[in-house]
Amino acid sequence: MGTVYEPYVFNGGVYKHGRIIELLEDVGGYLVNKMITITEVTMDMVIPEDDVPLIEELAKKQLGTLTKSPLTGVEIAVVSPTLASHHLPHSACDIAEYLRHPGAKTTMIGLARGMGRRVSLNDDFERKLINEHDIALYCLGSFKDCIVNKKPRLFEGVEVPIVATGGPEDIDVEEINGADMYIGSMGRLSHRMRSTNEINALDTMNDRVAELVEEMRRRQSKDPPAILPARAMKEIENQIPEIGKSLAPSPLVLKISGVRVKLPYDLFHERVRNVEFDEGPKLGEIADITRSKMNDYILVQIKPKSEVGFEI
């Protein structure tokens, strides 16, 4: 059986935080993301399950904290019928921000033709962009009839798991055609979500989405990717130094079964395809390298072990 990795986030001081990174590399873990804000540092990482106590012990010595982050390595599309004032995007902003706390990377998407109960639609470009993510979370309204009978047409063509959010609490997910999960108490708001009940609803959302991700990973473990996505991301970073010069936020985004590389496709896709591993194969042999709908970036989708015939 291969090594089992667990996602964690370290929060602590900048001083000597390199010790955490060195130990992480020594035990075979991977740094997913690092953010420094003046004197504090936040680092998302995946750690071999058996070595978590070692990182925890060093984190305590550094007067920092190591917390499990179940959504690390997950890219979520937060979809609103529009991002205009008509749909009061305050809750969508808070949802996207709150999902980042346990490690998720979020993309806010406002549909061009999502407004209106009778005429709301999504187009082909939007469907393909949403399908590049691991999960699509739709921020819907406060009326049950609209959520159950009208807005599910926005799910058409979306192939990734769909989470629907809305105001009513008495909706069963079976009533919403195409949705995999429904979370209530999160309808349209004309203010930021600050009250106790609103924060509790956001906490519930994170817990429910984490459960969905855990189920996705459980299914994936039956036929895992040919290479750990975190390792593929590390090799891309090491072999393509231009990554470090990218002005995009999070130039490399880890996904459940791949990586989003925020470099121009035409200039760099061949170099990404030719990234090498010690075991012999190149990345292009074990992954599909395609043009992303997001800013012409590069999308790396790692093939499952059964398709490649081996696992690195």
The CATH number, out of the four listed (3.30.70.240, 3.60.15.10, 2.40.10.220, 3.90.1150.10), of the domain defined by the range 5-69: 3.30.70.240
Sorting pLDDT into bands at 50, 70 and 90, what band is 118? low
Q: Give me the mean pLDDT over the 17-26 stretch.
A: 96
Q: Which of 208, 298, 304, 186 is nearest to 256 (CA)?
A: 304
Contact between 142 and 174 (Cβ < 8 Å): no
User: What pLDDT is stored for residue 90 in this prediction?
Assistant: 73
The Cα 124–Cα 103 span in angstroms is 29
Share of the chain above pLDDT 90, in %: 78
Sorting pLDDT into bands at 50, 70 and 90, what band is 1? very low
SS3 content of the chain, % helix, strand, coil (to 5): 40, 25, 40
User: What pLDDT is stored for residue 29 in this prediction?
Assistant: 95
Sorting pLDDT into bands at 50, 70 and 90, what band is 292? very high
Q: Give me the mean pLDDT over the 203-218 stretch.
A: 96
Contact between 116 and 150 (Cβ < 8 Å): no
Across the beta sheet with 105-110, what order do the strands follow? 105-110, 75-80, 135-139, 162-165, 181-183
Q: Domain-by-domain residue ranges, the chain?
A: 5-69, 75-219, 229-308
Q: At what angle do helices 90-100 and 196-220 cross, to 10 degrees?
A: 50
User: What pLDDT is stored for residue 83 in this prediction?
Assistant: 76
pLDDT tens digits, one per residue of 37-68: 989 999 999 999 999 999 999 999 999 999 99
DSSP label at residue 158: -
The class that CATH gives domain 75-219 is alpha beta
The Cα 150–Cα 176 span in angstroms is 10
pLDDT tens digits, one per residue of 220-263: 999 999 999 999 999 999 999 999 999 888 899 999 999 999 99
